[in-house]
Structure 1
Amino acid sequence: MDSNLSNLVFLLLFFLAASILILVQNRSNQKRFLARIKNSWGQIPQKEYTYEELEHIAQFFRQREKNGFYIDDITWNDLDMDRIFILINQSCSPVGAECLYNLLRKPVFEEKELKERQRLIEFFRSHQEERQKLQMLLASIRRPGNVGIFEAVHVTREVTVQGKTGQVLCLGAFLLSLLFFVLKPNPGVLVFLLVCLVNIGTYWGKKGEIDAYLTSFGCVLQLLEAQKKLEKAGIHQLKEYEEQGKQYKKQLSGFRKGAFWVTERSSTAGGGLGGLFMDYIRMMTHIDLIKFHDMMHSMQEHMTEIEGLISLFGYLESMISIASFREILPYYSLPQFLSEDRARMETEDLYHPLISHPVSNSISAQGGILVTGSNASGKSTFLKNVAINAILAQTVYTCTASSYRAPYFKVMTSMALRDDLESGESYFIVEIRSLKRILDEADRDGNLLCIIDEVLRGTNTIERIAASSEILWSICRSHVLSFAATHDIELSYILQNRYKNYHFEEEVGEDDVVFNYLLKEGRVTTRNAIRLLDMMKYDRKLTQRARRAVEHFEQEGVWENMEDSVDKCR
């Protein structure tokens, strides 16, 4: 008796010690996580992303129906928007990253939504305790392997699940055989064992259906648990979102009830003896197969609510990322949107958010802007910056400038193009397709901001200038703000009645070239290409012939034959 009592006390003390150890470990983990989110606030994110990771994050945007205007792939890639996303993203959960990416690709065209974003951003900026409480509960939504939350959930949409009649019959047979065993032990035991063997044998043919979707179910359960924690958190300023999530949770109540039969398995959760016992119960009763059918049906029926929970938590966490992003910036401003159909932009001290020590520029633009200048002088960076800030204004309600005034813009670019090897299209074909989509958008309603870098660079000089001037002339309309960069100085004369000229220039010294990256009015008047050849120690005769060729062309209007040029320089 004493020995049994001692064993019982030992077991109780063991379980008590284990519980205390687990509790201490959990609190330690929470403290470390809290310290991490405190230290990351207002800091440039250090996480690195692979191409595959970014593609998984993008699926929340790519696989959903798109209504209205969105930033297309050409514009997104031209502007290095993946890097902008990485700079902003401070998400603790995968839903935050997926929704932030989606948000950056879908500019807003109404003040009410942007004002709500500003309210949340400011709330999270000024209420550290509530912000960290939300981050802590969102951290429980974990990334499902190497895919995104939306991908893991969305994969169940097209699944066809067979009826559960056979599984219900197996459960019924088990219960009847158990009852028969209790009433008539001698013959009943044989019947009971036979039913168990049949049920276990047929179970393995269906078990794979469950294992393939455990991850999907787990994601939904994590979202529902996060909603439960949000309700307990009692953050008054998020009451609207709490109530919205509560409605989603109510619709999914049937999904959650009894879900442990499907999701808590010894093979996936390390359940020990207790988990192993529950696995045998599942095999003999098929109860998890029955519940799996109900959960899958509920999941497919309530996919809108599931996507609603992803959007809700992702949206809130996106606002936290934006609030932290603002702390990184040397200065920023809130955009002022003009209620007019005329495309124009006024911005002061505009700088590129990806450059560590940027040079700011100001501009008041309307109609067309043509930017000339040498390579590396800053043309492309400035044009990208204009487009990036138009997107940031209408997505994260933040501009990297001291002031920004403009109407709502659709933003399209044609800049960093390349040959399409998969389709076999040349650079020129890719380019004219890119320009055509801008021309088509210009024919539609709504203000358009378009950025074009080196129009038709993929063709010969004469046709390039002729066609480029016509394209730029056609694009320039009252509801279109067109920025174009070019090396063709001829365009600055041909288009001077519709395009205002700006330029970037450099200072050429004896041994180096200094770029100040300052935007100036007027067309460029300096050249540095041949001077750079001198600085790179090219053959002196080569550079002399090049200068003579330029002088001859400027005087005669035609290029001199190379043999004649070489003979004259001997």
Structure 2
Amino acid sequence: MTVLFWVCTIGILSLFLIWRNHSDQKKAKERFRDLKKTQYGASPNRNSGEEALSHVSHFFEDHRQENAIDDITWNDLEMDSVFARLNYCESAAGEEVLYDFLRNPCRLNASERARLERQIELLQTDGDVRLQLQYQFYMLRQRGKFSIYDYLHLLDQEKKRRNGKHFLLLFLLILSLVCCIFSVSGAPLFLVGMICVNMITYFQEKGRSDAYLSVFYYVLRLLGEAEKLERIHHERLQETFALEL
């Protein structure tokens, strides 16, 4: 009877937490849509200083074309201000592509420019589609002051690491615990030393791996949001964007 009670309690609590999470997500989506409706047409309200823009050029630098706008012309025309005014992007990847479009104005051919105009017209006239797309891109979030593209590029250069050192440290830590159990002389000092060494090693490896794990997490979210975008059923959207996700 006691086991059944706890199973039912845990089950009810789990269902409540699932419902609460779903309800919170729904409310957050509604708040986002209301906010974007009121902000439509207004200037983007975000930090567009030099430090905030330092990462968005990295994708462009790796795809620079011969007829791209050079740095001197870009600065003379104060194109950073133009980018800031046009930057309604909800994701870091979108910011990098927008910057690349501005620096490489001849990247698109005539048919691609016509297709882009149709996309813009659709988003201007159909607020529901615009809000749906904005929300899905918003779920990708910004990724701080670094370029996702840089880390994706560095993943190819990352060498395979061996785990022998970590297994050795784990073995020595277990050995120090065994020594303490059997009251071996100097065991407490050995245990404290191994704990410190393992902690230092952990934080060193964590610092190296965090950026890559963040990128993997971002890519997984990108794939998940792409599937959601694919499930948006709208005739004009599918015709105009020709989504191939």
- Provide the TM-score with structure 2 as the length reference: 0.74
Determine the C-alpha separation between the residues in 1 that align with 2:233 and 2:134: 14
Aligned counterpart, 1:118: 117
1:25 aligns with 2:24: yes
| 1:13 shift after superposition | 2.2
Please tell me whether the aligned partners of residues 152 and 219 of structure 1 are also in contact (alpha carbons under 8 angstroms). no
Question: Alpha-carbon deviations, 1:156-208, whole Å to 9, x = none?
Answer: 232222479x8xxx9xxxxxxxxxxxxxxxxxxxxxxxxxxxxxx9xx78964
Please tell me whether the aligned partners of residues 124 and 131 of structure 1 are also in contact (alpha carbons under 8 angstroms). yes
Equivalent pairs, count? 206
Larger relative contact order (C-alpha < 8 A, sep ≥ 6)? Answer: 2
Aligned counterpart, 1:128: 127
Determine the C-alpha separation between the residues in 1 that align with 2:95 and 2:63: 19
Aligned counterpart, 2:225: 226
**Which aligned pairs between 1:102-501 and structure 2 lie closer than 5 A?**
102-108=100-106, 110-162=109-161, 208=206, 210-236=209-235, 237-238=237-238, 241-243=242-244, 245=245
Aligned counterpart, 1:93: 91
Please tell me whether the aligned partners of residues 151 and 211 of structure 2 are also in contact (alpha carbons under 8 angstroms). no
Q: SS of the residue aligned with 2:139? A: coil
Give ranges in structure 1 of 5+ residues lacking alignment.
171-200, 246-570
Aligned counterpart, 2:47: 48
Give the structure with the larger strand fraction: 1
Q: Which has the larger radius of gyration?
A: 1
- Provide the TM-score with structure 1 as the length reference: 0.34
Aligned counterpart, 1:77: 75
Question: Alpha-carbon deviations, 1:51-95, whole Å to 9, x = none?
Answer: 111111122212x13233011110111111111111111111112
Determine the C-alpha separation between the residues in 2 that align with 1:15 and 1:226: 26
Supply the AA of the counterpart residue of 1:89.
N
Aligned counterpart, 1:12: 11
Q: SS of the residue aligned with 2:231? A: helix
Supply the AA of the counterpart residue of 1:242.
L
Taking only the aligned residue pairs, the percentage that are identical comes to 29
Determine the C-alpha separation between the residues in 1 that align with 2:215 and 2:48: 23
Give the structure with the larger helix fraction: 2
Question: Alpha-carbon deviations, 1:352-379, whole Å to 9, x = none?
Answer: xxxxxxxxxxxxxxxxxxxxxxxxxxxx
Q: CA RMSD in A?
A: 2.6
Aligned counterpart, 1:34: 33
Aligned counterpart, 1:335: none
| 1:241 shift after superposition | 4.5
Determine the C-alpha separation between the residues in 1 that align with 2:129 and 2:15: 33
Q: SS of the residue aligned with 2:159? A: coil
